Amino acid sequence: MTAAEIAKTFGIRVYTVGVGSIGTAPYPVQTPFGIELRDMEVKIDEGLLTEMADITGGKYFRATSNKKLEEIYKEIDALEKSKIDVKQYSRKSEEFLPFAILGALFLIAGIVLRTTIFRNIP
C-alpha cells in the first residue's frame, strides 16, 4: 500500500493483475525423490490488488489463462497512451586528425634531422 501511495503522489497509474486459476493449481514441490507436482490452493489477495489499483486510478484484472492474460495486456495498452519525448541527436566529427598528422610529421622530422644534420659528434 505504501508503494501505491507513492505512485499516486508521482501521478503514476497502477494496473494490477492477479495471475492464477481459481481453486487449485499444480505447483512444483521439492521432495526427497525429486520435483513433484502437487495441487496447491491458489491464494491471491484480490482485495489488496483492487485497493492498490483504485488508489492510483488504475484497474484490477484477473488472468486465469494465457489467453486471458494476453487480452489484459491489450486492454492496458489501449488504456495507456502517453507522450514520448523525442530526443534530437546531432552528428559530431573529430577534429584531431590534422593535428595528429602534423605532430607525427614534426616527430619524424626531428628524428631525421637529429640523425643527419644536427648529429652529435663525440
At residue 97, the pLDDT reads 92
Cell of 80: 495507456
Higher pLDDT, residue 29 or 22: 29
- Give per-residue pLDDT as tens, 65-108: 889 999 998 888 888 777 778 888 888 888 999 999 999 999 99
Cell of 89: 541527436
- 19 pLDDT exceeds 90? no
pLDDT band for 122, please (50, 70, 90 cuts): low
> pLDDT averaged over the chain?
87
* Level-2 CATH architecture, domain 2-79: 3-Layer(aba) Sandwich (3.40)
Domain residue limits, the chain: 2-79
pLDDT band for 109, please (50, 70, 90 cuts): very high
| C-alpha torsion sign, points 53, 54, 55, 58 | positive
Q: What secondary structure letter does DSSP report for 117? A: T
Cell of 103: 605532430
